[in-house]
């Protein structure tokens, strides 16, 4: 009986979101309890690997953000490649609408953030924080819209979030790296050529790719590029086959999905979502940093996605997905403002001093919560209107 319940839970529609919410709540409890000092001390504890050829010395928080998150971005990269090869982004006609909407959903939040922080230059490096969408939370909450939510709406939100993640990867690579270490960079380039050779030789076993991927991560980490880029680069090199049972990409993606949903993302939330209420007042909500993040997520996302979508339709570049109403499209644009884990991750890259961590968390969690509540209410309202008709 317990095993049946666990299996049912793991395959449930909301399960990953429930676990993520629990991990977030636990992080906040720990950050505001008598063990808060111990909690933060553990996160800053350094763990290292030292050999004749390799020295790695990272804090627990960095092992999660620079290590575990590589596997998350590997999964994101696999999803992007699959969608472009055989999925909803496989043709220009299918990809055009979510691509245009995603671009609008990145540009508008960044502009709103920068406008609100125009007189606070020290905050400008946080411009990308409100541009992200948490695909797990957004899709989980989309299901709360009920039976009236068409499959095409879920497909659109998935494609939108995947493009959003791709843009986030480019932003991280271009704006949030360290000074380049040329030697390590060339080592990483050499490993990429070796991975390409495996593709040319039609090697379908996964283990050679994963072994090289480990060394790719180390070299990218040493190069000054953000190490999560290694996950995406490895994903690009994983072979794909139309036969899903034989496809290395599909096998790896299926293996990583539960690990990401029930381990990597909850651990990331446990490490990064510890918002301490100590010293926080209502006045902090009007601090330009969290205000810019909240406004970017809640207002910027919906404004950018809706305006970009309307422009695409008016110019005949793309069209609204089949069976999706204007109200549902707007509701999804609001749900896209749930930045949460991705926004927290970009925030950890943008502000490394730690002095504004709480303000970043306040902005991300506030904007994400408002977007979640309003987005779900809009979907439920749309469902009731359809029943009334």
CATH number for position 75? 1.20.1530.10
Confidence of residue 10 (pLDDT cuts 50, 70, 90): low
Within a domain: residue 3?
A: no
- Stretch 167-175: mean pLDDT, rounded? 83
- How confident is the model at residue 6, as a pLDDT? 59
- How confident is the model at residue 242, as a pLDDT? 74
Cβ-in-10-Å burial (0-12, 13-18, 19+) of 243 comes to: exposed
Confidence of residue 15 (pLDDT cuts 50, 70, 90): confident
Query: What is the tally of structural domains in the chain?
Result: 1
Within a domain: residue 350?
A: yes
- Stretch 95-121: mean pLDDT, rounded? 93
Within a domain: residue 216?
A: no
- Stretch 24-41: mean pLDDT, rounded? 89
The per-residue pLDDT for range 192-205, each reduced to its tens digit, is 999 999 998 888 89
- Stretch 242-264: mean pLDDT, rounded? 86
Q: Which two tokens stand for residue 287?
A: 């601090």
Confidence of residue 177 (pLDDT cuts 50, 70, 90): confident
Does 379 or 111 have the greater pLDDT score? 111
What is the residue-averaged pLDDT of the chain? 84
Nearest CA to 309 out of 338, 333, 335 is that of: 333
- Stretch 316-344: mean pLDDT, rounded? 88
Region of 87 please: left (phi>0), alpha (psi -120 to 50) or beta: beta
Does 61 or 312 have the greater pLDDT score? 312
- Stretch 253-257: mean pLDDT, rounded? 90
- How confident is the model at residue 5, as a pLDDT? 55
DSSP at 133: -
Q: Are strands 46-50 and 55-59 parallel, antiparallel or unpaired?
A: antiparallel
Question: Would the pLDDT of 107 be above 90?
Answer: yes
Q: Which two tokens stand for residue 118?
A: 């125009």
Question: Would the pLDDT of 53 be above 70?
Answer: no
pTM of the full predicted structure? 0.78
Residue-range definition of the domain harbouring residue 251: 16-177+226-388
Within a domain: residue 75?
A: yes
The per-residue pLDDT for range 75-90, each reduced to its tens digit, is 888 887 887 787 767 7
- How confident is the model at residue 147, as a pLDDT? 63
Confidence of residue 190 (pLDDT cuts 50, 70, 90): very high
Within a domain: residue 247?
A: yes
The per-residue pLDDT for range 114-167, each reduced to its tens digit, is 999 999 998 999 999 999 888 777 877 777 666 667 777 888 888 888 888 788
Distance CA 178, CA 281 (A): 34
Distance CA 97, CA 276 (A): 40
The per-residue pLDDT for range 268-320, each reduced to its tens digit, is 889 888 777 776 777 777 889 999 999 999 999 999 999 999 999 999 988 88
Axis-axis angle for helices 15-31, 135-142 (nearest 10): 120
- Residue ranges of alpha helices (H) inside 45-181 are 60-63, 69-86, 92-116, 135-142, 151-175
- How confident is the model at residue 387, as a pLDDT? 46
Within a domain: residue 382?
A: yes
- How confident is the model at residue 116, as a pLDDT? 96
Within a domain: residue 327?
A: yes
Distance CA 250, CA 242 (A): 9
Distance CA 321, CA 323 (A): 6
Question: Would the pLDDT of 389 be above 90?
Answer: no
Question: Would the pLDDT of 222 be above 90?
Answer: no
- Answer for the pair 266, 260: CB distance below 8 angstroms, yes or no: no
Within a domain: residue 185?
A: no
What's the half-sphere exposure (Cβ side, CA atoms, 13 Å) at 285?
5
């Amino acid at each position: 009986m317990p095993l049946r319940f666990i299996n049912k839970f793991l395959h449930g529609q909301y399960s990953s979101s429930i676990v993520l919410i629990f991990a977030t709540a636990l992080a906040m409890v720990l950050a505001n309890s008598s063990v808060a000092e111990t909690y933060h001390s553990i996160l800053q504890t350094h763990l290292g690997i030292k050999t004749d050829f390799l020295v790695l010395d990272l804090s627990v928080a960095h092992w999660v953000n620079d290590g575990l998150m590589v596997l998350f971005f590997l999964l994101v990269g696999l999803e992007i490649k699959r969608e472009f090869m055989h999925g909803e982004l496989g043709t220009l006609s299918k990809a055009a609408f979510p691509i245009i909407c995603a671009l609008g959903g990145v540009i508008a939040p960044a502009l709103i953030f920068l406008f609100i922080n125009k007189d606070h230059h020290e905050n400008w490096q946080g411009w990308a924080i409100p541009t992200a969408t948490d695909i797990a939370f957004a899709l989980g909450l989309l299901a709360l819209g009920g039976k009236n939510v068409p499959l095409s709406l879920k497909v659109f939100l998935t494609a939108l979030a995947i493009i959003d993640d791709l843009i986030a990867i480019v932003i991280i690579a271009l704006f949030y790296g360290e000074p380049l270490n040329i030697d390590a960079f060339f080592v990483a380039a050499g490993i990429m050529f070796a991975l390409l050779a495996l593709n040319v030789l039609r090697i379908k076993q996964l283990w050679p790719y994963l072994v090289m991927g480990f060394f790719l991560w180390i070299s990218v980490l040493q190069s000054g590029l953000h190490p999560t880029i290694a996950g995406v680069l490895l994903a690009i090199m994983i072979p794909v086959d139309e036969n899903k049972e034989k496809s290395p990409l599909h096998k790896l993606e299926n293996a990583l999905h539960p690990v990401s949903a029930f381990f990597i993302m909850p651990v990331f939330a446990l490490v990064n979502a510890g918002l301490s209420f100590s010293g926080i007042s209502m006045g902090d909500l009007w601090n330009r940093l969290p205000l810019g993040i909240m406004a970017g997520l809640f207002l910027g996302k919906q404004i950018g996605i809706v305006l970009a979508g309307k422009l695409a339709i008016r110019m005949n570049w793309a069209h609204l997905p089949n069976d999706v109403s204007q109200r549902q499209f707007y509701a999804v644009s609001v749900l896209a403002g749930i930045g949460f884990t991705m926004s927290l991750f970009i925030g950890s890259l943008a502000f490394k001093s730690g002095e504004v961590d709480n303000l970043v968390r306040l902005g991300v969690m506030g904007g994400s919560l408002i977007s979640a509540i309003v987005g779900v209410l809009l979907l439920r309202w749309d469902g009731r209107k359809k029943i009334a008709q």
